[in-house]
Every structure is written in C-alpha cells, then in structure tokens.
C-alpha cells in the first residue's frame, strides 16, 4: 500500500462523477482497442488489470504500509492478510504449475536463482518503498487514486529500472545457486504443506508480537459507506482483497501463461523513452535478450496493459468512494524521498527479478525459493527505510494511546 490516504472510513463524500466518467471511457476505449488490434486475450488481461486496481484500492491492500505498521507499531493485520493471499495462491498455483498446463494452455511460474542480486536488489527495494511511499502495485493504485506525489515516485521508478537493465549483466554474473522449486523438489502436496506451515508461522508471530505490544489485535475495517453497496463503493475487508488478488493472479496465469508482474513494464517504458532520445539501449545485454519486446508496440506487452488498467481501475474505485482529490503541493523533503525512493525501487526490482508482486507474491506462489529470500531481504530494507522516513518529514504509524480524559 502507498501513503495515499484511504484509511478514513467516515463522512464519505459523494461519488466523483467526473473522475468516474473519465475512468469508464478510458477503460472502454482500451478494451475496444486491444480487442481489435491485439487479441481478445489481451483485452481480457486489460479487464483483469482493471479489477486488480479496484481490489487494491477498495481493500486498501498493500505491502509498504503493512510492513511499516508492523515494524513501527507491531500491528500485523496487513501481514496476516498477505499470508492469507499467499496461502490461497499456492493452493491454486501449485497443481497447475506442476501439470504445466491450465485450461489447455501451457503455463510456467517465476522460478529464478536466489543469489546475490536478489539479496541486494530486494533490500534496496524494501528501503526504496518506504521512502518512495509505495511498492510497485501501491505506486500504481495510488496514482489512480489521486496521489500526485506518487507520479514522481513512478517517474524515477522507471529511471531506476532503466539503469538496472544497463547494469544487469554484471549482477547476473555474480555467484548464484541454481533455481530452486518447492514443487519439483518435494511434489505438489508436500510443497503446499510446507508453504502453508510457513505462512501460518509468520501469521502466528505477528499475533504474538501485536498482543505483546498492545494486549489485543486491532479490529478490522469499519462498516461500508451508505453511498451504495460495499462491493461497489468500498471499503472491503483486507481478507476480501487477499482473495481477490490471489484469484486475479490465477486468472493472469491462465490468460498470459505466467503469473502477475508489474516492473518489467517500467524497464520497457524507460528503454523506449531512452531510445527515443537517441540512447542505443538495443545493444545493452539485457535488451539484446528482450529485443522482441523493445521492438513491439507497448499494446502488445502484457505487463504494460495491465499496469495501465490497474491505474484506471483505481481511479474508478476512488471516484466511487468519493475520495479522488488530487493535490499538487508536495513538501521538498517529501519530494526528495520520492526521487530517492523511486530510483531504489526501480534499480532494486531489476536486480532481484521483480517487485513485491513479480518476485514476492508471484515468486512464492510459483514455488520459487527466491520469492522467500526476496521477502526476507526486502523486509530488512523496509526496517532501515522506516527508520529513515522521519529524516524526510514522513511519519510512521503509531497507535494512539487511550487515556481516561
């Protein structure tokens, strides 16, 4: 989750009809364009992306603030929601990935080496997302929700991703073990059991830590709005968001043949922008292996169209919630944090084969050890980033102590 303010659930304004109209027209135009110029499957992935944007916004489902709340205040509801999402994910993904096909189409997971580049890159990513104010998914849905500061984070996310592709060959040459898959090593049943046990252990530790600090667990979301049904205008409980993200990631696997990802598109946007300015990115080692994507129109890139749809979906959700209120005044220190955070996010994502979605979420539900390594190192980076936030005038969440007055 980003620093966009979506937590307040009272005194909800009216639906923002202007923003909703723009989002609806943009989404419909994109759907028609993709169906007529690319394929029906690409149009279906556009729909999945839009639903992901709605789900992320309405459930306030995030990674950045969930980790920060636990680090700074030992509130673990967000982490437990992530464990629920991952648990459902492995139950859905592992059998399909083991068979290699889903609904008659070939599928493959994100199984990559858990080496030095993952350790360094995920640590930088965790640090960057606390300074930048959002992870990869959080940056997108925050922009759609009207957080203009996150536009700066996204721009430098793209720049950092481009730099990461330039240095990628050096990092890839560092020592790394062969990719490790829980599915191929242990079989589907034991692999699911091992991962479910790990998710349960993480959730249990958050409960212990939260009760030790606060005595009780924090209540869930407040009741929904009186402006319409909660499924349409929000808010959603985090567990609903967890289910939605797991199911929609599985839909991505079925349609695209691989799990959900976000940041490869940022690198592609940066490379196309640099090429337009005369930089010979095509001769970089990374782009020699991605020459087809670099040459093709962006509408053919699955990750690009899903990223854009996420922002449009979040815009629609924020409009329905009556919370689309963009503001353009950003304090200088906060702006500096967005720049630094964005660069770290982009560079770290390229080194570690992805972000909180492509490496953490999709890596773990693919059965890859690198997903677990990514989570550990990114969390450590978030610890450092959380400690640094006050330097840039950014606050960390703390439970307000109740008094007798």
Q: Would the CA dihedral through 169, 173, 174, 176 be positive or negative?
A: positive
Distance CA 143, CA 147 (A): 5
pLDDT at 223 over 70: no
- Grade residue 235 by pLDDT with cuts at 50, 70 and 90: confident
What sign does the dihedral 265-163-120-127 (CA atoms) show? negative
The pLDDT score that the predictor gives to residue 244 is 97
Q: At what angle do helices 40-58 and 136-144 cross, to 10 degrees?
A: 80
Q: How many domains does the chain have?
A: 1
Q: Which of 134, 172, 184, 182 is CA-nearest to residue 156?
A: 134
pLDDT of residue 15: 86
- Model pLDDT for residues 158-209, shown as the tens digit of each residue: 999 999 999 999 999 998 999 999 999 999 999 999 999 999 999 999 999 9
Query: How sure is the predictor about 9, in pLDDT bands with cuts at 50, 70 and 90?
Result: very low
Residue 12 forms part of a structural domain = no
Q: Is residue 344 in some structural domain?
A: yes
Place of tokens 């943009």: 26
What is the mean pLDDT of the segment spanning 251-264?
Answer: 98
Could you tell me if residue 6 is inside a domain?
Answer: no
Place 401 in a pLDDT band, splitting at 50, 70 and 90: low
Position 9 in a domain: no
Report if residue 261 sits inside a domain: yes
C-alpha 145/C-alpha 124 separation (Å) is: 26
Say if residue 13's pLDDT is above 80: no
**Residue-wise over 369-392: b if at least 16 C-beta within 10 A, else e?**
bbbbbbbebbbebbbebbebbeeb
Q: Could you tell me if residue 162 is inside a domain?
A: yes
Whose tokens are 């965790």? That residue is 126
- Confidence label for 302 from pLDDT (cuts 50, 70 and 90): very high
Q: To the nearest whole number, what is the mean pLDDT of the chain?
A: 92
Range of the domain at 342: 17-218+231-392
Residues 173-203, buried b or exposed e (16+ Cβ, 10 A)?
A: eeebeeebbbbeeeebeebbeebeebbeebb
Residue 32 — very low, low, confident or very high, per pLDDT cuts 50/70/90?
A: very high
What's the pLDDT tens digit per position in 121-152? 999 999 999 999 999 999 999 999 888 899 99
Q: Give one DSSP letter per residue of 264-280, joined into a string.
A: HHHHHHHHHHHHHTT--
Query: What pLDDT is stored for residue 252 in this prediction?
Result: 98
Give me the pLDDT at residue 4, please: 44
Determine, yes or no, domain membership for 293: yes
Average pLDDT of span 332-361: 97
For residue 100, the 8-state DSSP code is: T
Which residues lie below 8 Å from residue 76, measured CB to CB, with a gap of 6+? 69, 70, 203, 206, 207, 209, 210, 217
pTM of the model: 0.93
- Is residue 38 assigned to a domain? yes
Question: Once rounded to an integer, what is the mean pLDDT over residues 9-16?
Answer: 64
């Amino acid at each position: 989750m980003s620093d966009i303010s979506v937590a307040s659930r009272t005194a909800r304004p009216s639906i923002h009809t202007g923003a909703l109209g723009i989002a609806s027209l943009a989404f419909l135009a994109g759907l028609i364009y993709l169906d007529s110029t690319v394929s029906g499957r690409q149009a279906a992935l556009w729909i999945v992306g839009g639903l992901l944007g709605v789900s992320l916004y309405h459930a306030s489902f995030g990674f950045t603030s969930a980790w920060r709340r636990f680090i700074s205040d030992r509130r673990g509801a967000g982490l437990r929601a992530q464990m629920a999402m991952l648990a459902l994910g492995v139950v859905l993904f592992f059998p399909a990935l083991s068979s290699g096909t889903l609904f008659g189409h070939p599928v493959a997971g994100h199984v990559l080496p858990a080496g030095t580049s993952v350790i360094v890159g995920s640590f930088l990513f965790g640090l960057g997302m606390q300074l930048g104010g959002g992870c990869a998914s959080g940056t997108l849905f925050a922009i759609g929700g009207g957080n203009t500061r996150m536009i700066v984070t996204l721009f430098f996310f793209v720049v950092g991703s481009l730099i990461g592709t330039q240095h990628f060959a050096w990092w890839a040459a560092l020592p790394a073990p062969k990719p490790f898959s829980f599915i191929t090593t242990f079989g589907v049943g034991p692999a699911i059991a091992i991962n479910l046990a790990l998710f349960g252990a993480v959730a249990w530790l958050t409960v212990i830590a939260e009760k030790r600090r606060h005595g009780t667990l924090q209540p869930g979301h407040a009741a929904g709005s009186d402006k319409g049904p909660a499924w349409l205008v929000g808010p959603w409980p985090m567990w609903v968001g967890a289910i939605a993200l797991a199911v929609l990631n599985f839909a991505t696997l079925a349609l695209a043949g691989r799990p959900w990802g976000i940041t490869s598109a940022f690198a592609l946007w940066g490379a196309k922008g640099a090429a337009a300015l005369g930089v010979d990115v095509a001769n970089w080692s990374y782009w020699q292996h991605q020459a087809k994507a670099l040459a093709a129109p962006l509408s053919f890139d699955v990750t690009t169209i899903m990223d854009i749809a996420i922002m449009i979906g979040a815009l629609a959700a924020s409009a329905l919630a009556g919370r689309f209120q963009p503001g353009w005044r950003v304090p200088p220190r906060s702006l500096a944090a967005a720049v630094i955070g964005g660069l770290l996010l982009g560079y770290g994502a390229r080194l570690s084969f992805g972000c909180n979605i492509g490496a953490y979420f999709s890596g773990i539900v693919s059965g890859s050890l690198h997903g677990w390594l990514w989570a550990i190192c990114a969390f450590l980076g978030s610890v450092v980033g959380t400690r640094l936030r006050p330097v840039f005038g950014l606050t960390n969440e703390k439970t307000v102590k109740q008094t007798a007055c």
